[in-house]
Amino acid sequence: MRNLKLCVIMVLVICAVFTGCNKGGSKETAGNEQILEQAKVSDLGEYIVKNTQFKDYMSKVDNDIFFSLYNLNKDLVDDAVLYSSTGATAEEVAVIKAVDGKTEDVVKACKDRIQAQKEGFENYVPEELDKLSKPVIKTFGNTVVLVVCNDSDAADKLLANYDSKEI
């Protein structure tokens, strides 16, 4: 009986070990969080835009317009890049490196931007509300990433697989 219990315990331990090893070869966000945190804002933004399928043409937006659209004070942000569609869609990519201790303020600004976009597109192009209802908003240290696209799951996977050497 004692040997049976020992065998059952060993089988459970072995199953747990093999389950933990089965990551399918892709990096988990936790595994590359430091890389994302230390990435250059411009490089990360460019990577997301080049590797995400957008319905509309995406172009880099001037920083003054970024600060206006996101209603952020410049003293909250170390660096930022914004890519936006032509306005026909709600598609957008923002990568923002917040000043130490101001990350939550930047996340709130991203959420407020999404809400403003919902209100703007509600009567203009209601089909865009679907992608605005599931934006990707991720925080890596002081870096905040916002992606609004058709496939938020693909954007999540793109971030999980980011490696700064890919730029």
> Both ends of the chain: CA-CA distance in Å?
59
Domain residue ranges of the chain, discontinuous segments joined by + = 25-166
Tally of CB atoms within 10 A around 55: 15
Question: Among 25-34, 36-45, 76-85, which is the least confidently predicted range?
Answer: 25-34
Question: 3-state class of 83 per DSSP?
Answer: strand
pLDDT(6) > 60: no
Residue 59 confidence (pLDDT): 97
Residue 156 confidence (pLDDT): 93
Residue 163 confidence (pLDDT): 80
Render pLDDT for 14-40 as a digit per residue (tens, 0 to 9): 433 333 333 333 333 447 888 899 899
Render pLDDT for 142-166 as a digit per residue (tens, 0 to 9): 999 999 999 999 999 999 988 865 5
Residue 17 — φ and ψ, nearest 5°?
A: -65, -45
Residue 165 confidence (pLDDT): 58
The secondary structure of 53-72 as a DSSP string is --SS--EEE-HHHHHHHTT-
The answer to whether 88 touches 59, Cβ cutoff 8 Å, is no
Residue 166 confidence (pLDDT): 54
